[in-house]
Amino acid sequence: MSDRIERPPFVLAKLDQLITWSQKNSLWPFGSGLACCAIEMIATAAARYDIARFGMELFRASPRQADLFIVAGTVTNKMAPIIRRLWEQMADPKWVVAMGNCAVSGGPFPTYAVLQGVDRILPVDIHIAGCPPTPQGLLNGLLLLQERIAKSHPTKEIFNPDARR
């Protein structure tokens, strides 16, 4: 494919920029605090680390009102279908952050009860390692996610509904 077709038309590129700019600066996280990592997520939302600086202060209690799924903690096999279902209930466009070693790979629990990584059931955008990751770690991951959103092309779906941003 030639470069000309690859690149979006000028108007759409500008529209992309506008959409991604507004998306990345008003992420609505759904905090699913499943284990100890939730404490660090809460600390990140509190005054000292202040996630509000990045436009994400409104942690929603319902997945239907959120577009960023922060999986903070251990996902057990029994919890896995519920996590998947919560993700399905979120409206598109949506992103997933796997916070902590547990959500990334099962972490310190290579056992019969724990799902070995939430990416087995969800499309994870950002993995954040650490047990638990510090609030700085979480913020760094979220900044990476913002960069990623800024590089995405939401208008692609106009021509190709199957395209993932």
Partner 1 sequence: MEETTILEALKRRFPKGVVDASAPLGDATIVIRKDALLEIIPFLKEKPYEFAMLLDLTCVDYPERAERFEMVYHLFSLAANRRLRIKLSVPEDAAVVDSLVRFWKNADWLEREVFDMFGVRFAGHPDLRRLFMNDGFVGHPLRKDYPLRKRQPMIPLRK
Q: Which of 15, 43, 121, 144 binds partner 1 (CB under 8 A)?
A: 121
> What gap in Å lies between CA 117 and CA 128, rounded to an integer?
12
8 Å CB contact between 79 and 34 = yes
Of residues 74 through 93, those in contact with partner 1 by CB under 8 A are 77-78, 80-81, 84-85, 88
Q: Which does 120 bind (CB under 5 to 8 A by kind): ligand SF4, partner 1, none?
A: partner 1
- With both helix axes pointing from N to C terminus, report the angle between 135-150 and 10-25 in degrees, rounded to the nearest 10: 160
Tokens of 142: 């979220």
Give the Cα separation of 143 and 137 in Å (integer): 10
Binding site for ligand SF4 (CB under 6 A): 35-37, 73-74, 100-102, 107-108, 131-132
Q: Which is nearer to partner 1, 23 or 105 (CB)?
A: 105
Q: Which residues bind partner 1 (CB under 8 A)?
A: 77-78, 80-81, 84-85, 88, 110-113, 120-121
